[in-house]
Structure 1
Amino acid sequence: MKLTRRAMMMAAALAAVALPAAAQDYPTQPVTLVIPFAAGGSTDVVGRIIAERMAQELGQQVVVENRAGAGGSLGAGTVARAAPDGYTILMGTVATHALNPLILAQSPYDPVKDFAPVSLLIIVPNVLAVNPELPVKTVQELIDLAKEKPGELAYASSGNGTPLHLSGELFKSMAGVDIEHVPYQGSGPALTDVIGNQVPIIFDNLPSASAHIKSGTLRALGVTTAERAPSFPDVPTIAETLPGYETYTWNALFAPAGTPPEIVAKLNAAALAAVADPKVAERMDEFSAQIVGSSPEELAAHVEAEMAKWKPVVEGANIKAD
Structure 2
Amino acid sequence: MEVLTNVSLDVPKMKRIVESVGACIAWGGALNLAPADDKFIRVEHPLNIDAEAQLLASIIAKKKSVSSTHVLIDIPVGRGSKVHTVAQAKRLKRKFQRLGKELGMKVKAVVTDGSQPIGNGIGPALEARDVLYVLRNDYRQPFDLRDKALMLAGLLLEMAGRARRGKGRQVAEQLLNSGKAYDKMVQIIRAQGGKEKSPDDIPIGKYRADVKARRKGTITHISNITISRTARRAGAPMDKGAGIYLYKHAGERVEKGDIIMSIYSNNAERLKYAVEFLNSQHGVFIDRKPSA
Instruction: State TM-score, norm by structure 1.
Output: 0.21
Q: For the pair shown, which has the larger CA radius of gyration, 1 or 2?
A: 1
- More RCO (CA 8 Å, sep 6+): 1
